[in-house]
Structure 1
């Protein structure tokens, strides 16, 4: 839970465990600027930001990969830990519900 001090260029120059003043800025320790300061290289902030934003995309890739391996009988779904099975099932159900309710397709029999 760091409190920060910035320079004129809005770069972090110091971190504090306690607020050094009443108007001290607080940032979570997972903030990109804080992590860049702790790593000692502000250029790393872009790499950290990329990794953070691509995590969601990678999760979907992993889900699709698991589904493909199960479909090809290269992996038994029951071999996965129970917690992983529950999460994958829940995500699949939510995605299916979104596809059904979010469909804008109209059949020939539908009346507008």
Structure 2
């Protein structure tokens, strides 16, 4: 069981694996206050919502990693399964069209291009 340190209001401010001078109170792993502290005050639904919101951003990261690996010839696009090749080819095509629109759109900074 972990040890916690508390502030003057009794809120958890630190968690340690072993007892220390500041963290001397032992709490259960499933203690609701400890769980809330470890989750930065977020509940399960809020954490799930944040994960889902970050999915689109992370997809772009994965796409960029794949592009770098292909550019460095670590592997070829054809090494991927056909459905993955088709999805990547479609995304590259769509990004290319957005880039082409960039020269037409010009000064509109509120439009995010790749």
Under TM normalisation by the shorter chain, which class is it?
0.5 to 0.7
CA drift at 1:75: 1.1
CA drift at 1:43: 1.0
Name the residue aligned to 1:92.
Answer: 92
CA drift at 1:82: 0.3
1:55 and 2:55 correspond: yes
Q: CA RMSD in A?
A: 1.8
With normalisation by structure 2, the TM-score equals 0.53
1:80 and 2:62 correspond: no
CA drift at 1:105: 4.1
Structure 2: 5+ residue stretches without partners: 1-41, 108-114
CA distance in 1, matches of 2:98, 2:76: 26
Name the residue aligned to 1:5.
Answer: none
Q: Deviations over 1:21-77 (max 9, x none)?
A: xxxxxxxxxxxxxxxxxxxxx810111001100000000000000000000011111
Structure 1: 5+ residue stretches without partners: 1-41, 107-112
Name the residue aligned to 1:69.
Answer: 69
User: Structure 1 runs of 4+ off > 2 angstroms?
Assistant: 102-106
Name the residue aligned to 1:43.
Answer: 43
- Count of residues paired in the alignment: 65
CA drift at 1:78: 0.5
CA drift at 1:102: 3.0
CA distance in 2, matches of 1:94, 1:76: 20
CA distance in 2, matches of 1:53, 1:64: 19
